[in-house]
Structure 1
Amino acid sequence: MLREDSPVFSRFGEIYFSCVHPGVVKAWHFHKKMTLNYAVVSGQIKFVLFDERVDSPTKGELQELYISPENYALVTVPPLIWNGFKGVGTKTAIVANCATLPHDPDEIERRPASDKRIPYDWAIQHR
């Protein structure tokens, strides 16, 4: 998934796994300081990022990725980028996250998946 000599590796905080059942959405959240490194170990997810950073050249842009072992990607999410994912396909997906900091609930901002400030409809399949 990630090596210490990789150009995207900065430091190790923790690694954890998240199970996502088909059709279930886990969104939205961002981290104030933590960088996330996601990979899908099993199953498939639709992974969506949204940039709301004020001075960012990509402010207001969405990115949608379909990730699975067959369509492998290590997705690095910098701080302050809203992100979430949805289980797609027929089996539960297992998502690994190698984060740069240990979990701290005060370091996370959350919004519901239906939050209108993020212009995304989880029901639509873009491919």
Structure 2
Amino acid sequence: TARVVIYDNRKGSINKGQLKEYIINKENPILVRIPPGCYHGFEAIGEKDAYIISITTEPYDPSDTDEYRIAFDDKSIPFKWDGNRGF
């Protein structure tokens, strides 16, 4: 079982400030589309391994990485991860 969380902090987005949480498991195998520019994260929350497959819309370009990271516990996102982080 995995938890996927998406937070929209995009300027001008009609969904700005909204957070969505999805629980994915054998009984609920869903496809989650992450809009470009939204913060997102995932964690395994079950007793068994969780598999996440990421499919991009554009090929990776090392000269233009559209990847921005923030800490998992950044206060600007209204979500508290409760899994065992292992570090």
TM-score over 0.5 (shorter chain): yes
**TM-score, structure 1 length as denominator?**
0.59
| Identity score, percent | 37
**TM-score, structure 2 length as denominator?**
0.83
Q: Following the alignment from structure 1 to structure 2, what is the Cα–Cα distance between the partners of residues 104 and 80? A: 16
State how 1:35-114 maps to structure 2 within 5 Å: 44-104=1-61, 106-114=65-73
**Bigger mean CA offset, 94-103 vs 82-91:** 94-103
**3-state SS in 2 of match to 1:99:** coil
Q: CA deviation at 1:118?
A: 0.9
What is the root-mean-square deviation of aligned Cα atoms in Å? 1.5
Q: Deviations over 1:75-108 (max 9, x none)?
A: 1112011100110110121111111122345210
Structure 2 residues without counterparts, runs of 5 or longer: none
Structure 1 residues without counterparts, runs of 5 or longer: 1-43
Structure that is richer in strand per residue? 1
Q: CA deviation at 1:123?
A: 1.7
